[in-house]
Amino acid sequence: MIISTAEEMNPRKRSTMEDVHVVHEEGSWGCNDDTMTFVGVYDGHGGRGIVEFLEDNMADNIARELNHTELVHCDDNDDKENNATTTNILDTQHLSKKLKVEEDNATINQRLERAFLITDIQSRSMDILTSGATVVICLIKKNPTNGTVTIHAANAGDARAVLSCTPLNHPKLITTAVTANNNKSNQLLDPQEQQQISQEQQQLSPSQSSSSSSLQQQS
C-alpha cells in the first residue's frame, strides 16, 4: 500500500511541532492479522508529551486488543463468600478458584474503544497531564482474494478521517467523512454524549485533553 504524508509546523503560531502521524504497514506492527495497515494522526496541543506517548503506545495497544482471544473475570459469588479481591496475587489457591476465563467475542469497534481507554489510563498514570491531543486512526484491510478494502476508523476529539476518490466515469472527486467530530457543537452526537463532553471540558484546564474522551467509532 502506497501512503503519502505532509505536515506543516505553522511557525508563525508555535515554536515546536506538536502533531504526529504514524503509518505501520501490514505485518509490521504486532497485529496478528498481517493484511491490516495502521494509520494514525495525533493532533497535539500544549506540548509534545502526549503525542510522543501516543506515537510509542497507541498502535501497540490496538494490536494487543485486536489479538486478544480470552477474557478473565471474577466470580462474584466467590467474592461474597470469601470477601477477598483478585489483587492479592500471592493467594494463588484462592485466585485459581476465583478467576474464570471465557472467549473474547468483542467487535473491532469495542476493541478499539478498549485500546483508547487503556492508552488514556496509561498516559495519566505517567503524569502526562499538561498536554493533550485529538486522535484519529484507521485500520485498512485489503482482501487478497477479491481486492476489496475495509476501513475501520476511530477518533477522539475533532480529528477527522475523510475518504476521497474519483469513481470511474465520474468527473469530480467525491469525499465522505468516515468519523464524526467529538465536541459538544456536533449535532450528530446524542444528547448524553454532548453532556458528557461538556462536563469533561469543565473539569479540564484549557491545555488538557483526554485522548479517550467520548470515543466515536465507525466501520
Q: What are the structural domains, with CATH classification, of the chain?
A: 22-69+108-177 (3.60.40.10), 70-103 (no CATH)
Copy the grid coordinates of residue 88.
492479592
Q: Which residues does 42 contact at the CB level (< 8 Å), separation at least 6?
A: 19, 20, 21, 22, 50, 51, 54, 55, 58, 133, 134, 135, 159
Per-residue pLDDT of the chain (219 residues; tens, 9 = 90+): 667 787 776 777 777 888 999 999 999 999 999 999 999 999 998 899 999 999 999 999 999 999 999 877 776 565 454 554 444 444 555 555 567 788 899 999 999 999 999 999 999 999 999 999 999 999 999 898 998 999 999 999 889 999 888 877 878 888 888 998 876 565 555 566 666 656 655 554 443 333 333 333 444
- In this structure, the number of other CB atoms found within 10 A of the CB of residue 48 comes to 16
- 76 — phi, psi (to 5°)? -60, -35
C-alpha cell at 102: 471465557
pTM of the model: 0.72
